[in-house]
């Protein structure tokens, strides 16, 4: 009997075939929504953008009561996260090649590249500090307010107008370079964005080079296609892109045995932002713990000479190159509601109602910073037990999460170091951290709505991460019933069968029972 042929569900197959082809266009449209909505949210109080950016950037004051742009921005960011998670699932099933992933990155980032700066006004501070260097002033003692009234100063957030630059001499050199070659504030922003795009490309290439052969697609998806990278490196034009590209270059050079090059790249990363100095310390501690022979001591002396020479050259790039050490605490002057130390201070107010808010904030900040330094110190002392990428990544994550303030782009410090070689559960943690950081501190929403949105996204991310390990553990401890024994192929002797034998009508009602003969088994079982 022939089996019944089921009708083919053409719709399901066509959708599965169509979605991968439409994914670049869908990502392009979602990024365009982010650009349009983010540009129409408005500017912080007291600021004016230097350009309308072809009508994409609005100069009206930021008003949280006008909730429509903020909602569309949140929806666009959430759409990028969903598309990224879908791409990660496709990569897990080996459906996307490296070439296809680079194509996706180009489509998704195109609107963000041509759009105005979004989510942060820090890039205007970069331009103002570059102008200070151009005019012969020291950006580590002078502040943007020294520029006087005008377009460069009016775009800077009022919080940072009277604060010196906290960035290293290499970052200040890039700021100066952008002002000189840009020719105007808008041109300087375009030059800085070009540096950001090049740094993202470098991050992708270095992540692929660091990852094992079977994890290269995952490494590229976790870095270049990460919404946190797209939003805060390309769209917001933060220096984290350049810093992390140099960090990955240092890790790759160290893995290949090029110790001196690794130290030089690590010093260059620290000359952008100080926390990157952790990779230099990790390299030195790893060498010191390898052996205590005379050859190792000689190598350590050479490493110290390389580090000193690199810092000497980097600090000579601009006048007063060592002055940035005095202003390293400038970012901590702000307050971020999403910082773990801030959340802890808010919880302690219910436990210790007699304590004042500033006292609790100060205590939790000091405790968090001490804990972060302790974690980083432990990782350095035990650096020989793990890879350089994990030591650096975990240490930078501890410093960024436990520091006095937490901005979303701070999570990129450790995240991008860990992404190329992350294992299964580490990848899930990095995915959750990236998605959660991408929705933190979105402008255009009231504080209550923003916190509610963050809580919903956190629950949607945390529940699957907890549920899947529990299911795996349950299956590991309760594998299920044992399999049924195989069916015997040797024929078995037939049992006697009793049948009714019908008699002619004359004997109706009388039935006799007859017994069929037994079926004898064959002499030998068939093979």
Query: What percent of the chain is predicted at pLDDT more than 90?
Result: 30
Q: Which residue has the higher pLDDT, 56 or 389?
A: 389
Tell me the per-residue pLDDT of 230-280, one tens digit each, with 9 for 90 and over.
999 999 999 999 999 999 999 999 999 888 999 999 999 999 998 999 999
pLDDT at residue 358 is higher than 80: no
- Radius of gyration in angstroms for the set of CA atoms belonging to the chain, rounded to a whole number: 32
User: Residues 273, 243: contact at Cβ < 8 Å?
Assistant: yes
Asked whether the CA dihedral 172, 177, 180, 183 is positive or negative, the reply is negative
Q: Which residue has the higher pLDDT, 509 or 56?
A: 56
Residue 79 CA, chain-centre distance (Å), reads 16
Query: What is the average pLDDT across 324-350?
Result: 78
Helix (H) or strand (E) holding 501: strand 498-501
List the chain domain ranges: 18-465
Rounded to 5 degrees, φ, ψ at 499 are -125, 160
* pTM summary value: 0.80
Beta strands at 498-501 and 512-515: parallel, antiparallel or unpaired: antiparallel
The residue length of the chain stands at 527
**Residue 81 pLDDT:** 92
Residue 14: pLDDT band (50, 70, 90) is very low
Asked whether the CA dihedral 24, 25, 30, 31 is positive or negative, the reply is positive
**Residue 291 pLDDT:** 66
Of 3-7, 108-112, 312-316, the poorest mean pLDDT is in 3-7
Residue 223: pLDDT band (50, 70, 90) is very high
Query: What is the average pLDDT across 523-527?
Result: 47
pLDDT at residue 13 is higher than 50: no
Return the biggest CA–CA distance within the chain.
131
**Residue 508 pLDDT:** 43
User: Residues 147, 132: contact at Cβ < 8 Å?
Assistant: yes
User: Residues 339, 404: contact at Cβ < 8 Å?
Assistant: yes
pLDDT at residue 353 is higher than 50: yes
Residue 20: pLDDT band (50, 70, 90) is low
Residues 6+ apart with CB under 8 A from 409: 228, 232, 233, 236, 238, 240, 437
Query: What is the average pLDDT across 409-418?
Result: 92
Residues 6+ apart with CB under 8 A from 515: 496, 497, 498
Q: Which two tokens stand for residue 383?
A: 């650096």
**Residue 449 pLDDT:** 54
Tell me the per-residue pLDDT of 70-102, one tens digit each, with 9 for 90 and over.
788 888 999 999 999 989 988 888 888 899 999
Q: Which residue has the higher pLDDT, 431 or 17?
A: 431
Query: What is the average pLDDT across 481-485?
Result: 54
State the number of CA atoms in the 13 A half-sphere of 480 facing the CB.
5
Tell me how many degrees the CA angle 430-400-270 measures, rounded to the nearest 5.
105
Q: Which two tokens stand for residue 163?
A: 């604060």
Helix (H) or strand (E) holding 512: strand 512-515
Residue 459: pLDDT band (50, 70, 90) is low
Q: Which residue has the higher pLDDT, 486 or 230?
A: 230
Residues 6+ apart with CB under 8 A from 412: 228, 229, 232, 233, 240, 244
Rounded to 5 degrees, φ, ψ at 501 are -105, 115
pLDDT at residue 198 is higher than 70: yes
**Residue 113 pLDDT:** 93
Q: Which two tokens stand for residue 155?
A: 């775009």
pLDDT at residue 189 is higher than 60: yes
């Amino acid at each position: 009997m022939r089996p019944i042929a089921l009708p083919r569900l053409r719709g399901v197959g066509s959708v599965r075939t169509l979605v991968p082809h439409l994914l670049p266009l869908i990502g392009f449209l979602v990024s365009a929504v982010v650009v349009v909505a983010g540009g129409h949210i408005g500017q912080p109080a007291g600021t004016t953008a230097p350009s309308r950016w072809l009508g994409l950037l609005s100069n009206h004051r930021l008003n949280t009561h006008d909730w429509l742009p903020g909602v569309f921005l949140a929806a666009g960011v959430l759409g990028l996260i969903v598309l990224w998670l879908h791409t990660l699932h496709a990569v897990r099933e080996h459906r996307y090649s490296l070439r296809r992933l680079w194509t996706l990155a180009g489509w998704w980032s195109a609107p963000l590249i041509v759009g105005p700066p979004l989510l942060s006004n820090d890039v205007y501070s970069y331009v103002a500090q570059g102008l200070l260097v151009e005019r012969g002033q020291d950006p580590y003692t002078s502040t943007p307010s020294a520029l006087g009234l005008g377009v460069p100063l009016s775009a800077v957030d009022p919080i940072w107008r009277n604060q010196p630059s906290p960035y290293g001499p290499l970052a200040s050199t890039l700021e100066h370079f952008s002002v000189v070659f840009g020719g105007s504030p808008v041109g300087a922003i375009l030059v800085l964005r070009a540096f950001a795009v090049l740094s993202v490309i470098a991050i992708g290439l270095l992540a692929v080079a660091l990852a094992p052969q079977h994890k290269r697609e995952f490494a590229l998806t976790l870095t270049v296609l990460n919404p946190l990278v797209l939003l805060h490196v390309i769209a917001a034009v933060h220096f984290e892109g350049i810093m992390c590209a140099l960090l990955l270059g240092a890790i790759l050079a160290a893995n290949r045995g090029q110790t001196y090059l690794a130290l030089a790249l690590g010093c260059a990363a620290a000359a952008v932002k100080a926390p990157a100095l952790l990779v230099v310390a990790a390299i030195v501690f790893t060498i010191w713990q390898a052996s205590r022979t005379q050859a190792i001591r000689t190598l350590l002396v050479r490493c110290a000479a390389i580090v000193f020479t690199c810092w000497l050259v980097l600090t000579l790039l601009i006048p007063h190159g060592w002055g940035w050490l005095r202003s390293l605490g400038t970012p901590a002057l702000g307050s971020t509601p999403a910082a773990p130390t801030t959340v802890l201070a808010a919880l302690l107010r219910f436990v210790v109602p007699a304590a004042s808010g500033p006292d609790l904030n100060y205590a939790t900040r000091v405790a968090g910073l001490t804990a972060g330094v302790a974690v980083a110190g432990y990782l350095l002392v035990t650096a020989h037990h793990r890879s350089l990428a994990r030591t650096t990544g975990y240490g930078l994550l501890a410093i960024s999460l436990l520091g006095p303030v937490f901005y979303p782009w701070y999570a990129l410090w450790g995240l991008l170091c860990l992404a190329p070689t992350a294992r299964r559960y580490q990848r899930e943690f990095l995915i959750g951290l990236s998605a959660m950081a991408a929705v933190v501190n979105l402008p255009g929403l009231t504080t209550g709505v923003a916190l509610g949105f963050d809580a919903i996204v956190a629950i949607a991310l945390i529940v699957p991460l907890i549920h899947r390990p529990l299911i795996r553990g349950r299956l590991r401890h309760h594998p299920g019933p044992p399999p049924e024994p195989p069916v015997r192929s040797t024929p078995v002797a037939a049992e006697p069968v009793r049948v009714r034998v019908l008699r002619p009508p004359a004997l109706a009602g009388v039935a006799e029972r007859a017994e069929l003969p037994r079926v004898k088994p064959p002499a030998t079982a068939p093979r």
